[in-house]
Amino acid sequence: MADKKDDLRLDDTLLTDVPPEGEDYSLEEILAEFGDRREPKLLTEEPKPEPKPEPKPDPAPDPALAAEQARQEARDKLLAQAVDLEKLEKDLPRAPRPVSLEEVVGSTVDAVMEDSREPIMKPKRGLFSRRPLEETETLYGPPEPEPEPDPEPIGPEEDLCNAAADWRERYQRTRGTLVPALLIGLVPTLLAAVEQYGITVPMWSGDIRFQSIVVLTCLALNILLCRSVFKKGFLMAARKRCVSELLISISALAAAADCAACLLVPERTAVPPYGGAACLALVFAQWGVSRQCRGMYDMFRAASLDDEPPYLVTDTDRGACKQRGSVPGFYTTSMKDDAATLWQTAFLPLVLVGTVVFAGLSSLGQGRGNDFLLNWSAILAAGGTFALPLCWSLSWSRLSRHLQQTGCAVAGWAGAEKISRRRTMIVTDGDLFPPGTLRLNGERFYGEERRKAVAYAAAMARSAGSGLERLFSSLLREENGRHETADDFSFFEEGGWSAAIHGESVLMGTASFMRKMNVRLPGDVNLKTGVFLAVDRQLIAIFAVKYEPAENVDYALRMMRRSHITPILAARDPNITPALLKRKFHKGVKVEYPDLTSRVALSEAENDRDLPRALLFREGLLPYAETVTGSRKLCRSVHLAAVLGILGSAAGTLLAFYLVFLGSYELLTPLSLVVFLLLWLVPVLLV
């Protein structure tokens, strides 16, 4: 009973963690009590030395305080022993335990997955470095494909026949008023010239007021006759284009205002007005408008001949290319602004503003405010040269008329500039040797009947898309043979083709190609333009083809050479090479001969239908060459004329400002101003 009571008291102590009052326990009892909760082998392998017993506390006079101190000391002992046991458990080696198959598989899989996450190649340490090397190489992915350029938009397309009728009406209207405007515009200049030579003209000589009335009348009539110039100038200004017609229109209005000031303002300097130069400027501007209308009429008249023209000329990355005909997009391209308009838009606003500033400096700046219109009309007339409105129209009307007679049409400035920009042309077999220039000069067969050899040759030529197709197709019709199908067709850089026909390996090409393909040739055969046919590496036929040069092709090649345009030879016929062209045509012909892949790709471009820059209604190389070379000449002449016109405008503006600023009106007479403007017109007419 006593033992049971002690156990119960021990249990109570464990539950409350506080020993009963007046009782204490030894270390052995505590270990015996808490050791059951640990593994028994912790103490059996390495027993812990017995700690020294703590001295018993002196009994306190106060029983409650003594009991509390006893409880606290017991707690501290228990906590200290528990910490020591946990540390001992960690330090001592554990007993081996059995490992299941699932744990082994799981640990192996985890190890493999951990290795797969590590990099394959670890950075190596340098020879004398204490720090690991860092990877500085950047691995770039494959380049992204370049985005395809957006197709050029096509605006609302007007019917080409209606466009031709509209421009024809404009041309007739402007041409009808041109001669009367010229006669009226010459009146002030002729009277001034007569007076310059010492001839007295009644009512004109020495009478500034009468001269102003005559000049004002001529200006009013020419403004009425040349209203197309005013219409074009202000319509282009609404489109934010400052062209020569706008400058000349303002010059005519300023000259008319100066004539009125000469009659109404007595303080104005007594010098003749400069309206005669403005009258002639209106005439030349009207001539430019008329020539432009004629060029557009000829272009649209030629383009409206057929809704589906045989060919068109478009621009590619390698140069001009002739393709199958298509009309949509031609009208939109032809209505774009020309280079002269764009250059004048960039320069003439400066001239217009400069004339106002210079007129103010030379009149208001010197206390001569009544001469503002006089100085402004002189500077404007000198800045609006006669050559400016003719830079584009004269060259354009000549080219469009010539091409219309040869059955071609160029889509304005934009079309001409695009097809002549790279100064190259892609030419094919049919361009250099059109139908009728290839003929058979002999044939020989070895071990096969003629019909089979001709059928195989026609199938190979048709699959190659060369000019020999017409020749062998006509031979096949003469033999009443049937067309064969060539499978697995291939081109060879050595000058030949290969294919499979009815399971037989067929080779066709030049003699050098046959030798490289290990086909034995007869020793007595020496053909520079022969076509050899072999089946299963055995020669079965030889065709002697004669290439006859055409005169128009030779003329076209000479024309391209004079215009510095290089033809790119995209021929599929292995016999058509630069050496053959030099033998058949003039020796100075120069062509670009790309590799086989490029030749095939360029020749396939002939079957596309891109935006038309020009339309061709005739076969052969000559119309094609005339279109490209004419466009090249047009661009060159327009650029040169625009430069000359702008230089003349700048020179005239500065020179007129200098003279009126000094008040040297005796040097800047109306006649001398007209002569100056005519001199700047001569180079443009020659160009």
Mean pLDDT throughout 95-120? 49
Query: How high is the pLDDT of residue 465?
Result: 86
Whether 250 has a pLDDT exceeding 80, the answer reads yes
Higher pLDDT among residues 65 and 108, named by residue = 65
**Mean pLDDT estimate for the chain:** 81
Q: Do 641 and 543 belong to one domain?
A: no
- How much is the pLDDT for 78? 58
Same domain, 430 and 570: yes
Alpha helices of 46-127 — where are they, by DSSP H?
Answer: 63-91, 101-117
Mean pLDDT calculated for residue range 412-420: 93
Cα–Cα dist 670/274, whole Å = 5
Please report, for the domain that includes residue 591, its CATH number.
Answer: 3.40.1110.10
Residue 26's pLDDT band (boundaries 50, 70, 90)? Answer: low
Our CA angle for 288, 294, 295, nearest 5°, is 90
Q: Do 444 and 506 lie in a common domain?
A: yes
> Which region, left, alpha or beta, applies to residue 503 given φ > 0 means left and ψ of -120 to 50 means alpha?
left
Domain match, 394 and 437 both = no
Chain-centre distance of CA 10, in angstroms?
Answer: 99
Instruction: State the average pLDDT over residues 266-285.
Output: 92
Q: Is 21 part of a structural domain of the chain?
A: no
- Assess if residue 314 is contained within a domain: yes
Specify whether 472 is located in the same domain as 524.
yes
Mean pLDDT of 587-608: 84
Q: For residues 84 and 195, which has the higher predicted lDDT (pLDDT)?
A: 195
Summarised one tens digit per residue, pLDDT across range 296-342 is 999 999 999 888 888 899 988 888 999 887 788 899 999 999 999 99
Residue range 147-164, pLDDT digits in tens: 555 556 676 778 899 999
Nearby residues of 357 by Cβ (< 8 Å), 6 or more positions away: none
Residue 647's pLDDT band (cuts 50, 70, 90): very high
With respect to residue 290, please indicate whether it lies within any of the assigned structural domains: yes
At 498 the pLDDT is 92
In a domain, 337, yes or no: yes
Whether residue 317 is found in the same domain as residue 192? yes
Q: Domain end: 556, 579, 606, which one?
A: 606
- Crossing angle of helices 244-264 and 275-303, in 10° steps, is 150
Residue 558 shares a structural domain with residue 672: no
In the numeric block, the tokens 């790309």 are attached to 594
128 belongs to a structural domain: no
Are the C-beta atoms of residues 377 and 258 closer than 8 Å to each other?
A: yes
Per mean pLDDT, which range of 75-84, 241-250, 614-623 is the poorest? 75-84
DSSP code of residue 20: P
Give the residue from 474, 542, 468, 475 showing the smallest Cα distance to 507: 542
Is the domain of 443 the same as that of 387?
no
**DSSP readout, 88-108?**
HHHHSPPPP----HHHHHHHH
pLDDT score of 646 more than 80: yes
How does pLDDT run across 531-563, given as a tens digit for each residue? Answer: 999 999 899 999 999 999 889 999 999 999 999
Given a cut of 90, whether residue 136 has pLDDT beyond it is: no
In 3D space, the residue among 460, 466, 686 whose CA is nearest the CA of residue 571 turns out to be 466
d(C-alpha 93, C-alpha 41), whole Å = 10
Top-confidence residue, 205 or 374: 374
* One domain for residues 309 and 354: yes
pLDDT of residue 397: 95
Query: Which spans in 202-328 are helix H?
Result: 208-225, 227-238, 244-264, 275-303
For 575, left (φ over 0), alpha (ψ -120 to 50), or beta? alpha
* 114 has a pLDDT exceeding 80: no
**Are 533 and 521 in contact, with CB atoms under 8 Å apart?**
no
Classify residue 295: in a domain, yes or no: yes
**pTM of the predicted protein model:** 0.73
Does the CA dihedral 656-659-662-666 come out positive or negative? negative
Question: Is 143 contained in some domain?
Answer: no
Whether residue 429 sits in one domain with residue 397: no
Please state the rounded mean pLDDT for residues 4-16.
40
- Distance between CA 536 and CA 519 in Å, rounded? 9
Q: Which two tokens stand for residue 217?
A: 């009348």
pLDDT band at 656 (very low <50, low <70, confident <90, very high): very high
Query: 417 and 436 share a domain?
Result: no
Higher per-residue confidence, 201 vs 300? 300
Q: What integer is the mean pLDDT of 496-508? A: 91
Residue 247 and residue 383: Cα distance in Å, rounded?
A: 8
Residue 593 falls within a domain, yes or no? yes
Average pLDDT over residues 53-63: 48
d(CA 348, CA 384): 9
Position 231 pLDDT exceeds 90? yes
**Residue 540, φ and ψ in degrees, nearest 5:** -120, -20
Mean pLDDT of 599-610: 78
Q: How far apart are CA 432 and CA 421, in angstroms?
A: 23
User: Per the structure, how many domains does the chain have?
Assistant: 2
State whether 177 and 319 are in the same domain: yes
The per-type count for the chain, helices as H runs and strands as E runs, is: 25, 12
163 near 295, Cβ under 8 Å?
Answer: no
Last residue of a domain, one of 606, 638, 667: 606
The amino acid at 89: E
Across the range 24-38, mean pLDDT stands at 52
Distance of CA 247 to the CA centre of its chain: 34
**Which residue is it, tokens 């022969």?**
530
Domain span including residue 214: 160-423+621-686
Residue where one domain finishes, among candidates 582, 606, 630: 606
- pLDDT bracket for residue 447 (50, 70, 90): confident
pLDDT band at 200 (very low <50, low <70, confident <90, very high): confident
Sign of the torsion angle spanned by Cα atoms 518, 520, 523, 524: negative
For residue 625, give every residue at least 6 positions away whose Cβ sits within 8 Å of its Cβ, in sequence order, or none: 425, 556, 557, 559, 560, 565
